[in-house]
Amino acid sequence: MDEPEDIFDEEELLEDRAEKKFNSDLDELEKTNIDYKRIKNIDQSKKRAVIESVFDERTIFHLNKILVNGPLKRIEGVISAGKEANVYLAYDLEEKEVAIKIYKIDSNTSRWMRKYIIGDPRFKKIPNNISKVIFLWASKEYKNLKRAYKVGLRVPEPLFIKNNILIMEYIGFESIPAPVLKTIKSPKDPVNLFNEILTFIKLLYQKAKLVHGDLSEFNILYHNQSPVVIDISQAVAIQHPKAEVYLARDIKNIFQYFEKLGLETPDPTDFYYDVINREV
Ligand SMILES: Nc1ncnc2c1ncn2[C@@H]1O[C@H](COP(=O)(O)OP(=O)(O)O)[C@@H](O)[C@H]1O
Ligand SMILES: [Mg+2]
């Protein structure tokens, strides 16, 4: 394993400390009231107001801190509002676009996330606390992105993580985010696209030692006529007991998508064995 993954004990300790600090910082804010003005500023914009209404106090606090101390300058509109997380377009201090994904602190979400984390050898201790499970989930997405990015795979570069807030490279042109593959009726060169995605699956497994686990046309952005894979939080290490089941499912989804486009696809089973590098 290329990085210490059992950092959760330490993370938990840091979290407890952060919680105490958070409470005292909040008192401090209450006293000065300066930073609350920023939050009110966010309220003035209709698009940004959603940030206020969707997230808990602690998330708002950290968002505010990110806006005051960096790395962000401002948060613009919502790119996507999902059940578990919202994604926004934001700008860093150099006015460069970034994407910010904020997980909602929700007990139902944390319940199924916990199930997913059990069995991943990278996470030894599963927290009981709802927010901590969600923070662990967000940090899992950050780490998975990092692992994939490090081996040269086309995923958004992870830039920053704090609790349930993940900042990553923005995929799109100016304020127009790249579309998900699902919405593309006829990609320009489907054969090439198909091969690029197959190469991605193979290298993710063989080099990053991960299986995406939710790979489909819904989690691939189409940018510059090339695929950029997103939403990698549920990805598991190849040692995970279900890694090969997830791999088979990912392969099935991708083959089905391209078959629907009318492409002649090879035998998915051959590809599966090619990925895991084993004789049939
Ligand atoms: N880095 C990014 N750049 C541009 N758009 C993004 C980025 N990450 C996510 N999105 C957009 O946000 C949507 C939701 O993101 P995703 O990570 O798939 O979360 P979920 O499916 O869990 O809600 C994507 O379908 C895509 O449209
Ligand atoms: Mg998704």
> Residue 153's closest CA among 97, 209, 191?
209
pLDDT at 42 over 80: no
Based on the domain organization, do 225 and 241 belong to the same domain? yes
Task: Identify any residues that bridge with 168 across adjacent strands, giving them in sequence order.
Answer: 99, 158
Q: How many domains is the chain built from?
A: 2
Share of the chain above pLDDT 90, in %: 65
Based on the domain organization, do 79 and 103 belong to the same domain? yes
pLDDT at 27 over 70: no
Q: What's the domain range around 227? A: 177-276
Query: Considering the chain, what is the average pLDDT of its residues?
Result: 85
Based on the domain organization, do 130 and 195 belong to the same domain? no
CA pair distance 236, 246, nearest whole angstrom: 9
Q: Is 85 in the pocket of ligand 1 (CB under 6 A)?
A: yes
pLDDT at 199 over 70: yes
Both tokens assigned to 45: 């914009």
pTM, rounded to two decimals: 0.84
Residues 6+ apart with CB under 8 A from 15: 132, 135, 163
- What's the mean pLDDT in 227-239? 95
- The CATH number of the domain holding residue 188 is 1.10.510.10
CA pair distance 147, 119, nearest whole angstrom: 19
- The CATH number of the domain holding residue 65 is 3.30.200.20
Based on the domain organization, do 181 and 47 belong to the same domain? no
Each residue's pLDDT tens digit, 70-97: 999 999 889 998 999 999 999 999 999 9
> Residue 154's Cα: distance from chain center in Å?
14
Can you give the pLDDT at residue 50? Answer: 58
pLDDT at 271 over 60: yes
Each residue's pLDDT tens digit, 97-147: 999 999 999 888 898 888 778 877 777 788 889 999 999 999 999 999 999
3: in domain: no
Catalytic residue flag (residue 25): no
Q: Is 141 in the pocket of ligand 1 (CB under 6 A)?
A: no
235: in domain: yes
pLDDT at 19 over 70: no
pLDDT at 262 over 50: yes
Whether residue 153 contacts residue 208, with contact meaning beta carbons closer than 8 Å, is answered with yes
Instruction: Indicate which residue of 92, 106, 214, 274 is catalytic.
Output: 214
pLDDT at 178 over 70: yes
Based on the domain organization, do 192 and 269 belong to the same domain? yes
Q: CB-side exposure of 184: number of CA atoms within 13 Å?
A: 24
Whether residue 98 contacts residue 90, with contact meaning beta carbons closer than 8 Å, is answered with yes
Q: Which of the 8 DSSP states describes residue 180?
A: B
- The pick from 101, 102, 176, 218 for probing ligand 1's pocket by mutation, whose C-beta has the most ligand atoms within 8 angstroms, reads 101
Q: Is 129 in the pocket of ligand 1 (CB under 6 A)?
A: no
Q: Which of the 8 DSSP states describes residue 181?
A: G
Q: Is 77 in the pocket of ligand 1 (CB under 6 A)?
A: no
CA pair distance 167, 162, nearest whole angstrom: 9
